[in-house]
Amino acid sequence: MSENTKSATKARLYDAFAASGKALASGKRLELLDLLAQGERTVDALAKAAGLNLTTASAHLQTLKQAGFVSTRRDGVRIHYRLAGDDVAQLFALLRKVADRHQAAVPAARDAYLGQDTTGEMSREELRARVAAGDIVVLDVRPAEEYLAGHIPGALSIPVQELAERINELPEDTEIVVYCRGEYCVLAYDAVRLLTDRGRRAIRLNDGMLEWRLSELPVDAAELT
């Protein structure tokens, strides 16, 4: 193989790598990956959750599909999307971590979105130990369909928008550990603020369901009780 041929084939290889990067070069596409990391969803559900119209959501999903990041299945007239593999979830999680460490704009944007955190947090390892000891309540504040798709074993489900009305379903004398989609999910922050304002002892899991799954910890998928 000549040097010119080697150079051309190398360029094609790196262009192929770059195509994946281009597919990730949209905040809304990353948000769609975040949602799909919680479980399979229809285009309609993804559009609603991401605040997009159907046309725009479909275009973003097609870009992700062309890059090989998502796959589909058809159920009648409905098309369901899911991540193409756990490696896509790992890439998404790593991208966020790297950006947080090296992109100067991220920390300020993160803090503006999540708000001031004056409460404690708990690691996955400590959570598992406390669950085994039976001295905490684990609360999942994601939407119900995400809980059904997979949740931490033993976790209760109260979506954050229902928490104020359903707070009496939680014991008053037990510490509550709240989690949601992942490390950068605002739902857990909002839930802890609400619970502490109502006099409950509440802290966050320091990440969420995305990281729990990627750590290959047990996951339950069951009907709401």
Residues tagged active-site: 180
Q: Write down the H helix ranges in 117-215.
A: 124-133, 144-149, 163-166, 186-197, 209-214
How many Cα atoms are found within 13 Å in the side-chain-facing hemisphere of 47?
13
**Cβ 214 vs Cβ 156: under 8 Å:** no
Residue matched to tokens 């990281």? 211
Q: Which two tokens stand for residue 127?
A: 């959570």
CA-only gyration radius of the chain, Å: 20
Cα separation, 135 vs 101, whole angstroms: 35
